Structure 1
Amino acid sequence: MSLGTVCVTAGLTGLFSFVFLAVAIGTDYWYIIDVSDSRYNHGEDSEDLNSHSGLWRICEGKNACIALIDPFGEESQNVPESQRHLLFMQKVFVILLPLSLVLLVFGGICGLVSSLANGLHMLLFTGSYFLVGGALTLTGIAVYIAYSKAAFAIAMHLYGHKLFDNVHIGFSWSMGLACLSCVSEVISGALFLLAAKLVAVQHPEQSAVI
């Protein structure tokens, strides 16, 4: 595989990573609650009981969407002490995931410059940068998963396990896109490191400086 092909593939993979993460952050299908088969819907339209949520809001029924509590706002002061850990996890993922998106922009700039210059040091830096960015995205996703599980555990504790016997919960396509973004980011980083290796082979005078 030629150096140019590797660099172009790495750049496209990084672009896909940005698009996947941007769509994931902007949509509300990270976590879904389906009560269609619940015995506790009391004859209500099941579609009005279903809900799905994202990083910023939760949507109940067909059109009603409400913003999640602002973890940095004044209303967060009224959260019970027993639920403070949820607020902390919310702060973590609402910072990490948008930050990862911003870092992808700078990573794309670095990737373009290093590909055009074919500089060994720049390619090594860009590859490492994308790998660190992928780890950051993965951390944000992991914290969101932990947050969702903890929130559901609190809900079951408050309302009882029987209420949730026929309630189906899970992660949806927004979460899937975030995971694809993480994988694409790691692949892009690995390809930039491969490009650096090809440069070192083709231009041993650059590797001799390291």
Structure 2
Amino acid sequence: MSNFREIRADFDRETIVVYQAYNDAIADAALSAGQFVAPFSFQRMTWIKPSYLWLMERSGWGAKPNQTRILAVRILRSGWDAALRQAVLTSYHSGVHRSQDEWRSQFADAIVHVQWDPERSLRGKKLEYRSIQVGVGRHLITEYAEKWTREIVDLTPLTAKLRQFRQAGDYDKAKRLLPRESIYKVEEATAARLGIES
């Protein structure tokens, strides 16, 4: 059984994979350049998710408008870890913040947001533990796009295949194709800041 809050991801010694869903124009430009470029917006927060299944829930398995292209973005762990060190939860948590006022003050100044949402199963069921979403603020987006990103892979064909297997009820076939995710450990101060359980 997974801990209520922990990060699960596809990662190696230097990089970690996060997932995002976009329209054709943004996805094609990013894939061509190997990093995010216009028409990707550098003026608003972008949300990155290390859970493929949570992004599938968010994007309707790549079927929602403007979320039909599923991208796997391999970024430097140093950037990811730095973002988490600066992150503030999107809601008050008594085990993390001394008071509601302390949380409001931290949140108002935060350049990275973290939200924990129910993880999803392959069938779309809410699970009993949470999945992390990280909102990279506009002050860090250029760094995310130009310095952290090492590779962008188009997972749209894989997503379409998985969607077909789900529709046919072939969950065993779908499960074999899912990206593999393992527990990603963070330093103690970051874990305390984000309510991560070890």
So what's the TM-score if we normalise by structure 2? 0.28
Structure with more of its chain in strand, by fraction: 2
